[in-house]
Amino acid sequence: MKATLLAAALAAPLLGLTLAGPAAATRTTGSYTSLTVFGDSLVDAGNIFALTGGRTPSPSAGYFQGRFTNGYDYTDLLSVDLFGRPTLASLLGGRNFAFGGARIVDNGDAVPDLSRQIDLYEAALGQTADRNGLYVLNAGGNDVFGAIAGTIGGADPQSYLRDAAGQYAASVQRLNDLGVRNILITDFPVATAGAINSQANGFLDAALGNLSLASDTTLFRFSFTDFFNQLSVDPGRFGLPALDLTTTCQAAGAAAIASGCAGYFSFDGTHPTAAVQRAAYQEMNRQFALAVPEPASWMLMLTGFALVGMAARRRGRLVPRPA
């Protein structure tokens, strides 16, 4: 029954959802014309919140507008820079198809995992993908958690993570084959998983190296693992105060939440605070500005996105650009 109700809830909003039309798909301007997001709770803009009638993630626990942290995530900040508004959950008619709890490998529960999210996008699309749009894939954390906890159906953790990495890379290929030409993929982003997370990312590197993308497809890669490692050593480099890496903002209490979780790395033990999300976004911008000179006439428009660990067929730009 739960799965049936969820299926109905997922299908209903698609009737009124119109994604990028043919004009957007054939534009040749330099500006990104849309932002589409797939993934898990790091980038869920309110799909789980909508499915649970506003109960999860709970606003009374400090969660912000359906996000799994106390503010906007990095895709929201990118969307604000590109279009003047945060991302909107797909169940509310938007282009953010991420669901909290989603994995790369389908585990048979009611939450749409990565492949199912792309299915939902295709069902809503009904036409050519937006060639000038930017598509974000942010998944893998729950697969790493599952491998650690043993909730992977009895599979060997190493084999499971190799499969997850292969499916993650296959999602890039699938989007490419749909006509998508600008793709950002993050690594397996579990800050505290150590060797098992590194192993998963090694599998991902190998899988991404075997893709066959169109010559005009740009694949951007961002390493949360590298960012988290650098942040833990020198938060001041990213404009943050000394961070408590063990106590969560929620555990610190209402006063800490009211202060914006200043000085805390984790909001709830699983998700980084909004300040850390913003620092990641700003670091992306900083990295990009170092890599690409900014013409004086673009200064007010280049709000874009930096890249860590870029792997691409050509060096692309992940920023709003003059049309």
Q: What CATH number has the domain bearing residue 44? A: 3.40.50
pLDDT at 2: 35
How many domains does the chain contain in total?
1
pLDDT at 88: 98
pLDDT at 74: 93
Instruction: Flag whether 272 is in a domain.
Output: no
* Cβ-proximal residues to 151 (8 Å cutoff; 6+ apart), any chain: 107
pLDDT at 135: 95
pLDDT at 287: 63
Instruction: Flag whether 267 is in a domain.
Output: no
Contact 188, 147 (CB under 8 A): no
Instruction: Flag whether 206 is in a domain.
Output: yes
Instruction: Flag whether 128 is in a domain.
Output: yes
* Cβ-proximal residues to 118 (8 Å cutoff; 6+ apart), any chain: 38, 97, 171, 174, 175
Instruction: Flag whether 265 is in a domain.
Output: no
The residue written with tokens 């979780």 in the block is 261
Instruction: Flag whether 310 is in a domain.
Output: no
Looking at the whole model, is its pTM more than 0.85? Answer: no
Domain that holds residue 56: 2-18+29-224
Contact 156, 71 (CB under 8 A): no
Instruction: Flag whether 90 is in a domain.
Output: yes
Note down pLDDT in tens along the chain; length 323 residues: 333 334 334 444 433 333 433 233 333 334 789 999 999 999 999 999 999 999 999 999 999 999 999 999 999 998 998 899 999 999 999 999 999 999 999 999 999 999 999 999 999 987 779 999 999 999 999 999 999 999 999 999 999 999 999 999 999 999 999 999 999 999 998 867 788 999 999 999 999 999 999 999 999 899 999 999 999 999 999 999 999 999 999 999 999 999 999 999 999 999 999 999 999 888 777 664 322 333 332 232 333 333 333 333 333 333 333 22
HSE at residue 135, side-chain half, CA atoms within 13 A, is 26
pLDDT at 191: 67
Alpha-carbon span 138 to 271, nearest angstrom: 13
Which residue, among 210, 115, 200, 209, has the nearest Cα to 164 in the 3D structure?
200
**CA 230 and chain centroid, separation:** 20
